[in-house]
Structure 1
Amino acid sequence: MAEPGDEEAAPHDTARALQDAARSAGLAIAPAEVEPLLLALGGQPPATEGTLRRALLQIRRAGWRGRLSVLHQGAGALPVSAVDLDLAVTAVADPAAGDAELLSALRETVLARLGGYGSPAAALAAALDDLPKGATGEAKLDAVGHCAALVAEAFALPPADAAAFRRQALETEERRRKERRVAARAAKETRAVEERRLRAWEASLVDADAVPALLGCTREEAERWIRAGLVPVARRVTVRRGSRTTREAEFDPAELEKLCGAVPGWRRGDGGHRSVARREPRDEGRGSSNAAVARVAGLDRYAAHFATARSLNRRLVACLGPTNSGKTYFGLSRLAQAESGVVLGPLRLLAHEYREALEGQGIRTALSTGEERIPVPGSRHTAATVEMCPFHTPMDVAVIDEAQMLADPERGPAWTAAIMGVPARTVIILGAPDAASMVRRIAQLCDDPLEEVRLERMGPLVAARSPVPLGDIGRGDAVIAFSRRSVFEIRAELLRRGRSVAVVYGALGPTVRRAEARRFREGEAEVLVATDAIGMGLNIGPLRRVVFSSLRKFDGEQERPLSVQEIKQIGGRAGRFGGAHAEGIVAVLAGGGDPREIAHALTAPAATPEDLRPPVAPDADIVAAVAAEIGTESLFGTLRRIERSVLRRDDPNYRLGDLSTQIAIAEAVDGVRELTLLDRWTYAMCPVDERDEGISRLTDWAVEHAMGLAVAPPRAGRLPPPDRASQDALQSAERLHRRLVAWRWLAMRFPEVYRDLDSALAESRRLNDWIEDVLAARPSERTLGAGKPAGPPGKPRKGNPPRQRSAKPRRQG
C-alpha cells in the first residue's frame, strides 16, 4: 500500500536524480530549468550524459539568443543580423557556455556570413546596413573601419590588400556621408523656400469682396462672372461664422489683373475675354497663379490627356458581380478571342495567373509588372499590373480587373487612368457591384458608351448561426486575421492541436503566397490562416468555410468594424461552384464578434461610395509642366503645388488621389541636385516599405546614383535551417525581399545604376525558397510558434493597437 505523500515524493526524487546527473556531468542546473528539462526528457532522469547535454542545450539556446542580443550592443562595431543570432546559438555546443563563448560564436557566425556574399564590396554593403545607427541615423566612422577589417578577414585578404580595402572603404563612406549631408541640407533649404513661396501666394489671395475693385466692375457683375466660371477661383477655404461653417472662395489678384481687358467683352456677352486676356511675365518670387498652374496640369480635363484612347471609338463593358461569380472567366474568355489585348490587375501575382490562364488556351502572352518583364516574341497579348497600362498602342480588347479599387485613395488613380486611357476598342471592366456608380461616371466623362453585365454568385453563400470554437477548425477552413502577429498566433495554436497549416499575408512575396495557396489547395495543409490579402484573386481552391478571427480590424489609423464589402469580398471565397464545397459558409471565431453581423452583410445591397468622382494623380508629363510653369526644379515644391492648387476640392468631376507618400519621398530626395526633376519623380514612385526606413534607404540609393556609383542589390547572407528559424529571422527575410522588390523596380528604370539584376533575381528566389520552407516546417515553441494568444486568437488586445498599415495591395507599377 502506498504511504501518504508518495505522489509528491516521486517527482521530487526524479528532480533530485536529475540534479545528481548534472553534477556528475559538471553542469549546474538552475531551479527554473528543472521542470522544462524533465518535460524535455519525458519525465525521467537522463539515460546518458549526452542526452542531458542535448536537452539542456535546447532549453538554454532561447535564453542565449536574448542574452546575445544584449551583449552585441556593447560590441557596437559588430554588424549583427537577426539570422546571425539564430545561427550563433545553434553553433554553441557547450551548455555551460558563458558570455565570452557566446560572443565568440557570434563573431565567427558574422565572419562566415560576410564571406558568403561573393565579393568584399557586397559584404561591406551588407555589414554597414546591419551596424547599429546613432542619433544621426549613421554608424560611427570607426565602426565602418572595423567592419571593413572584418570583411577583409572573412575573405582572407593579404595584410596590404586588407589595409587598402579598409582605407578605400573609409574614403568612400566619408564621401558618401558628405554627399548625404549636402543633399539633406539642400532638401531642407528647398522645402523652406517652396513653403515660403506657397505661403506668400496664399497670403496674396483676396476674398470675393475685393473682386469688383480689381476688375473695375459692380458687385453684381462680379458675382455673375464668378458663377459663370469666367473669374477663376484660386482656392476655397472653410470659414466659421457663428454656428455656421461655409466654404468661401478666394482669388488671385495677379490673375484678376490679367482679366481686366476681358471685362468689356464679358459685358457685351461675346466671350471676348478669351482673346483679350493676356499672359503677364511670371513673378518668380511667388510663382504662377493658381489658375495658370491648374490650366497647365489639366487634371480637371483628365480624360483629354489620353489622346490615343480619345481618338478611338471605344466601348466599355462593365461586368460586375460578387466573388465566385465568373467575372475573371468572362473577361479572359473575350480577351482570348481578340487579336490583341491586355489584362490589368492589382498584383504581380495576379498578372502571373492571368498569363498562365491565357497561355493555357494557347495564347502567347507577355508579362509586364513594375519589377519584371517577360517578353514573348510574336505575342499580341500582355498580362500586367494596372500601373503598367500601355497608353499609346491601340488594341482590340483590354480587361481591367478589381475595379472597386477605384475607391482606394492611394492606388485608385491607376484604375482611373487605365479605364480612361487604355487604347482598346472594347474595354471590359471587372469588379464588385459597388464599383458601378464610379464606372458610370468615368464613362460619362470619356463620352464612351457603357454596357453593364451583372453576374450572380455561382453557388450559395450562407452565414453560420453560431461562433466557431478554434478546436472545430478543420480541413478546408480558412481563418482570417488582420495582422501578421495574429496569423502566427492562430497558426501556433492550430499546430499545437495537430493541424497542418498554410499561411498567406501581405508581407509575403507573390511566389511564396502562391506556394502556400498550392499547399492548401492540394491538401498538404488542412487549414489556411491568412490576412485579408486572400480577398483579391489568389487561387486558393475550394474553401469549406471562411472564419473571421474578429469582425473588427485596425486599418492603420483606427480600429473599426469590417465593412459590408470586406465581409462580402473575403467571405465570398468560401464555396466553389461545381467543387467539393458548393455551399460556402462564412463564420466568426468564438469571442470574435456576433454572427448576425455577417448575416446582415451577406444580404446587404451594394454600397454606393460617398464620393463618386474618380481619383486622379499627376504623371511625369504633368509634373514637368507644372514645375516649368511655377519656375522650380524642386519636386517637393511641384507636388505641394499640385496637391494644393491644380484641382479644386469642389471640382465636380475629379478628386485628387493621395500623394502623401510621393511628397514624403520628394522631400527626402529633393536635395540630390545631380538627379533631374523627372529622375527624382521616378524615385518618388518607387514602392517602398516606410516601416523599414524605406524612404531613408531610397534616399541613400539616390545619393549613390548621383555619385556615379553602382547600387548593389540587398543580400541576406547565410540563413538558418528553416525548422529553427525565429520570428525575427523570418521577418528579416521578408524585409530583405521587399527591399529587393524596390531595387528591382528601380533596375527596370535605371539599369546603368542598378546593374546586377541577375544577382537580385537569384537572391529573390533564394529568399522565397527559404521562406517557403520555413512556413512549411513545423516549428519549435521557441521559433515561429512562440507565444500563446491572450484571449481569442486574432482578437485585438486591450490598449492601443500598434500602428500598422492596412493590408491593402501596395503600388505595383
Structure 2
Amino acid sequence: MEPRHKNANAAADGAEVPMTDDAGPRGPIEIRRQAWRSRLMTLARQAEALPARLDDISVALSSITDPEAGDAGLLAALREAVLARLNGYGTPESALAEALLDLPRGSSGGATLEAVGQCAALVAEAFAMPAVQADSFIWRATDAERRRRGERRAAARMARETQAVEERRLKEWESSLVGAEAVPSLLGCTRYEADRWIRAGIIPVARRVTVRRGGRVMQEPEFDPAALEALQSQVQGWREAEQGRGPAQEEEAQPTRRISNAAVARIAGLDRYVGHFATARALNRKIIACLGPTNSGKTYFGLSRLAEAESGIALGPLRLLAHEYRDALEARGIPTSLSTGEERIPVPGSRHTAATVEMCPFQTPVDVAVIDEVQMLADPERGAAWTAAIMGVPARQVILLGAPDAAPMLRRIATLCNDPIEEIRLERMGPLVASPAPVPLAEIGRGDAVIAFSRREVFALRAELMRRGRSVAVVYGALGPTVRRAEARRFRDGEAEVLVATDAIGMGLNIGPLRRVVFSALTKYDGKEDRPLTVQEIKQIGGRAGRFGGSHAEGIVAVLAGGGDPRQIARALKAAPEPPADLRPPVAPDAEIVAAVAAEMGTESLFGTLRRIERAVLRRDDPNYRLGDLSTQLAIAAAIDGVRELSLLDRWTYAMCPVDERDEGISRLADWAVEHAIGGSVAPPKAGRLPPPDRASQDALQLAERVHRRLVAWRWMALRYPGTYRDLEGALAESGRLNEWIEAVLAASPSGRVRAVAGGGDIPARGRGRRRRGGPR
C-alpha cells in the first residue's frame, strides 16, 4: 500500500518541508509559522490600505525571528514585504496601478478613496519620495481614481439600464408572438394554405417552443404578427405561383421566401452560414481528411503537402502549435510568417503562414491549407472556430488532420460546402498496449509521463516523486507556450526523468519519446461533474506513449494504483471511433453579422444584439447547424455595454478578448474599456519583484502565472488598439521575465528539502480534483 503523501501537504507559506517524516524536531518559529500565517491573513484583510498578497505573507513570515512576535510585529514584517515588492515595479505609477488591484475590497466592492490615498502614500514611501513630491503624487493618484470611478459608475449604470431595456424588449417581442391558428386571419388565407406555406418555409417562423400534448413533447412554431401583416400583399403571388402561371412568377418565389424570413434571422443568416465565405465559395476547393490516431504521421503528411505548395497556411488550436508548424516549415527552407491572437511575426516575401485557427484569413486565397485537430469541432466553447476555418479558408486544397471520430461531421461540412472530400486513414506507426496491472507510484521512472487532471494534483505528484529522488518536468494549461516548450525540452533531453502533466500534452506538444503514459485516475471533473474519461481522451493522451523508430517503439498506457480499472484502458484502446452525439457543426456570429443584426434591430446595445442572436436567429431544430456557446461574449457585453464612447464593434472586439474569468478577468477588461473610452492608456500588468526561484512559494508561482495570463489578454488588445495599449515593448519584456522565472522555479532541484511550491495538500483522491470551466488543461 502506498504511503500517505505527508510532505505534499506543505502550507504554501514558504516553509521548508523535510525530506523524510523523521527529519528531527522543528524550532519554535517553525512550529508557530502556520498560526502566524492565518493571523497575518486576517490582519491583512483588516488593514484597509495595505495591498498585501499571499506571497508577501510568505516573505514576511520568513523574515520573523522572534518566536513571541505579536500582531504589531507581524504587521510590521508584512508592511516591509509589501514595500519591497512595490519598489520592484520600477516606477511609482506601475507600482500604484498594481497595488490598487490588491487593496482589500469593502462591502461596496472596492476600497475607499481614503484607502487609495494611503496606498499611494505607501508607494511614495517605497520609492523614498521627498515630502512635496509625495504629497503631489498622493493628490494626483486620488484625483485620478475619483475620476475613473465616476466613469466606471456611469458605464455600469448605463450597462444595467441597457440590459434591462433589451431584456424587456425581447420579452415584449416574445409575448407578442402567436400560434399557427392565428396565421390565416393575419394573412387573409385559409388554414390549409397557411399550413402548406409554413411547411414550405414561405411563412417565417419566429421561434419554436416546446409543449407537452397527450404525454408527448412537441415543438410548435410561433409567428411574429408584424412580420405576417407585412406579407399580406404577397399572398396572391404565392397562390399564383402554386397554380403555375408561368416562369416569371416562379422565379419571384425564391426572393419572396428570403424577404419573408424573420428580419433578424434573415440578416444574420446563420442558417445559411456556408454562404458567408464568398472567397472560399468562389474557389474550386477539394477537402482531404487525413485521419488517424496519435503517432500515425498526420502532421508530417499535412506539413509535407504544405511545404510542396507555392502558398499555404497551417492552422491549429494553440499558439504553441503555430510556433511548431512555423519551425517545421522553416526547417525545410520555407519562409513562414506567424499570426496568433497576441503575436505577429511577418516574414517579408513569405507565402506561407502558421496561425491559430481563430486567425484564419478568409479573403486571401492560397494553394493549400492545413487545419489540425479537427475533432475540436465538437468542443462546446471553440468548435465554431473550426467550422468557420473549414468552411471559409480560401484554399484550393484543404487538408484536415485529426482523430477518426471527426469523420461524420467533416462529411456533413463537405456536403454543406458542396466540396468533394477524400478520406485518408492512417494507422499508428507503433504498437500501443494497455498495462494489465495498476502501476505503484514507486515504480514511476525514466521515460514515464503521469497524467493528472488538476494543477493541484500535478504539483502534489511532482512533490512526491521528487521526494522519492526523481527529477520532474511539469506541463499544465496555466503555463505559457514558452515554458511548456522548455519543460518538454527538459524531459526530451533527459534533464528530467519523469513528466507530470495535465491533458494539455494530448494536443501536439513535442515531448519526445515516452516509455509509458500513466493516468493518475480514469475519471476527471469537466466543470460540471466527475465523469469517466472518454474513449477519445484515453486514445488521444495515451497515444503519446511510444514513438516509431525511437527508443520506445512500443507504447504502454497504464493507471496509477488506486486510480481505476486497467481493463477500462484496454477496452478504450480497442474501441471503434465514437462520433459526436450532435453532428451539426457549431456556428457563431462574426463582426459583420453582429453589425448587421444590430442595424436591423435599431440598437447600439451589444448585449441586446447577442441576446437576440442567441434566442432568435437559429432554430434549435435547424437541420444543418447549431449555435455555438456565446456565454462569455454575453458576460463581457453585459459588463461593458455602458461604455458607449466605444462603438458597438469596438465593444464586440472586447467581447472576443481571451480573459480568465476566475481571475476577475471580465471586470478588469471593463476597467480597460473605460480607460480606452476616456482617451487614456492601459499599462501592461506587472508582477513586481519575485523571490529567488529556489525560494519561491506556491503563492508566488500562481501570482506569476496569473499575471502572465493577464499579459496575454493585454497583448491581444494591443494588437487591435495600439494607441491605447501602448507599451508593447514593456509587455513583452515582462512576459519574458515571467517565463524565465517560472521555468527556473519548475526546474529548481531542491537539495535535501522540498519547497512548498511543490504542493499544498495531499494528492487528492483519484479523479476528484476540481477544475472550473476554462481552467488548466
TM-score (norm 2): 0.93
Distance 2:527 2:321 in 1: 25
Q: Which of 168, 181, 188 is the matching residue for 1:196?
A: 168
Q: Which of 294, 316, 329 is the matching residue for 1:345?
A: 316
Contact 1:262 1:274 in 2 (8 A): no
- Is 1:784 the equivalent of 2:757? yes
Residue of structure 2 in register with 1:563 after alignment:
534
Report deviation, 1:646.
Answer: 1.0
Contact 1:386 1:414 in 2 (8 A): yes
Q: What amino acid sits opposite 1:356 in the alignment?
A: D
Residue of structure 1 in register with 2:182 after alignment:
210
Residue of structure 2 in register with 1:14 after alignment:
none
Residue of structure 1 in register with 2:645 after alignment:
674
Q: Deviation string for 1:753-781 (max 9, x for gaps)?
A: 01001111111111111111111124555
* Between 97-106 and 745-754, the greater mean CA deviation after superposition: 97-106
Contact 2:478 2:776 in 1 (8 A): no
**SS of the residue aligned with 2:757?**
coil
Q: Structure 2 vs 1, CA of residues 75 and 650 (structure 1 numbering), >3 Å: closer, same or farther?
A: same
Q: Which of 68, 72, 76 is the matching residue for 1:100?
A: 72
Residue of structure 1 in register with 2:382 after alignment:
411
Distance 1:516 1:543 in 2: 14
**SS of the residue aligned with 1:382?**
strand
Residue of structure 2 in register with 1:544 after alignment:
515
What are the residue-to-residue correspondences of 1:787-798 with 2, within 5 Å? 787=760, 789=762, 795-797=766-768
- Is 1:775 the equivalent of 2:746? yes
Residue of structure 2 in register with 1:242 after alignment:
214
Contact 1:371 1:744 in 2 (8 A): yes
Q: Structure 2 vs 1, CA of residues 598 and 435 (structure 1 numbering), >3 Å: closer, same or farther?
A: same
What are the residue-to-residue correspondences of 1:388-407 with 2, within 5 Å? 388-407=359-378
Report deviation, 1:508.
Answer: 0.9
Report deviation, 1:116.
Answer: 2.1
Report deviation, 1:786.
Answer: 4.0
Contact 2:433 2:556 in 1 (8 A): yes
Q: Structure 2 vs 1, CA of residues 533 and 277 (structure 1 numbering), >3 Å: closer, same or farther?
A: closer
Q: What amino acid sits opposite 1:719 in the alignment?
A: L
Q: Deviation string for 1:192-221 (max 9, x for gaps)?
A: 100111011111111111111111111111
Report deviation, 1:278.
Answer: 11
Q: What amino acid sits opposite 1:393 in the alignment?
A: T
Contact 2:203 2:261 in 1 (8 A): no
- Is 1:125 the equivalent of 2:109? no
Report deviation, 1:323.
Answer: 0.5
Q: What amino acid sits opposite 1:805 in the alignment?
A: R
Q: Structure 2 vs 1, CA of residues 789 and 153 (structure 1 numbering), >3 Å: closer, same or farther?
A: closer
Contact 1:317 1:452 in 2 (8 A): yes
Q: Deviation string for 1:519-558 (max 9, x for gaps)?
A: 1111111111111111100011111111111111100011
Which ranges of structure 1 fall in alignment gaps of 5 or more residues? 1-35, 45-51, 280-288
Residue of structure 2 in register with 1:623 after alignment:
594
Which ranges of structure 2 fall in alignment gaps of 5 or more residues? 1-16, 243-248
**SS of the residue aligned with 2:557?**
strand
Distance 1:309 1:247 in 2: 35
Q: What amino acid sits opposite 1:68 in the alignment?
A: L
**SS of the residue aligned with 2:517?**
strand
Q: What amino acid sits opposite 1:190 in the alignment?
A: T
Distance 1:664 1:231 in 2: 34
Q: Deviation string for 1:65-103 (max 9, x for gaps)?
A: 443222222322111122222222333345554433332
Q: What amino acid sits opposite 1:784 in the alignment?
A: V
**Using CA pairs below 8 Å that are at least 6 residues apart, which structure has the higher relative contact order?**
2
**SS of the residue aligned with 1:734?**
helix
Q: What amino acid sits opposite 1:789 in the alignment?
A: D
What are the residue-to-residue correspondences of 1:120-159 with 2, within 5 Å? 120-159=92-131
* Between 264-273 and 653-662, the greater mean CA deviation after superposition: 264-273
Q: What amino acid sits opposite 2:177 in the alignment?
A: L
Q: Which of 116, 121, 134 is the matching residue for 1:162?
A: 134
- Is 1:77 the equivalent of 2:49? yes
Report deviation, 1:375.
Answer: 1.1
**SS of the residue aligned with 2:720?**
coil
Distance 1:134 1:504 in 2: 37
Q: Deviation string for 1:283-332 (max 9, x for gaps)?
A: xxxxxx97111111111111111111111111111111000000000011
Q: What amino acid sits opposite 2:449 in the alignment?
A: A
Q: Deviation string for 1:367-419 (max 9, x for gaps)?
A: 11000111111111111100001111111111100000011121111111111
Distance 2:487 2:647 in 1: 42
Q: Deviation string for 1:34-68 (max 9, x for gaps)?
A: xx999999659xxxxxxx9xx65566555544432
Distance 2:776 2:370 in 1: 21
What are the residue-to-residue correspondences of 1:595-610 with 2, within 5 Å? 595-610=566-581
Distance 2:404 2:201 in 1: 36
Distance 1:276 1:429 in 2: 38
- Is 1:468 the equivalent of 2:439? yes
Distance 2:765 2:468 in 1: 17
**SS of the residue aligned with 1:784?**
helix
What are the residue-to-residue correspondences of 1:335-374 with 2, within 5 Å? 335-374=306-345
Report deviation, 1:468.
Answer: 1.0
Contact 1:80 1:130 in 2 (8 A): yes
Distance 2:211 2:383 in 1: 30
- Is 1:688 the equivalent of 2:656? no
Q: Structure 2 vs 1, CA of residues 744 and 278 (structure 1 numbering), >3 Å: closer, same or farther?
A: closer
Q: Which of 462, 485, 496 is the matching residue for 2:467?
A: 496
Q: Structure 2 vs 1, CA of residues 566 and 132 (structure 1 numbering), >3 Å: closer, same or farther?
A: same
Identity across the alignment (%): 74
* Between 549-558 and 151-160, the greater mean CA deviation after superposition: 151-160
Q: What amino acid sits opposite 1:213 in the alignment?
A: S
**SS of the residue aligned with 2:273?**
helix
Distance 1:305 1:491 in 2: 49
- Is 1:516 the equivalent of 2:487? yes
Report deviation, 1:133.
Answer: 1.1
Residue of structure 2 in register with 1:804 after alignment:
772
Distance 1:788 1:133 in 2: 28
Q: What amino acid sits opposite 2:611 in the alignment?
A: R
Q: What amino acid sits opposite 1:353 in the alignment?
A: E
Contact 2:520 2:767 in 1 (8 A): no
Contact 1:501 1:529 in 2 (8 A): yes
Distance 1:760 1:267 in 2: 66
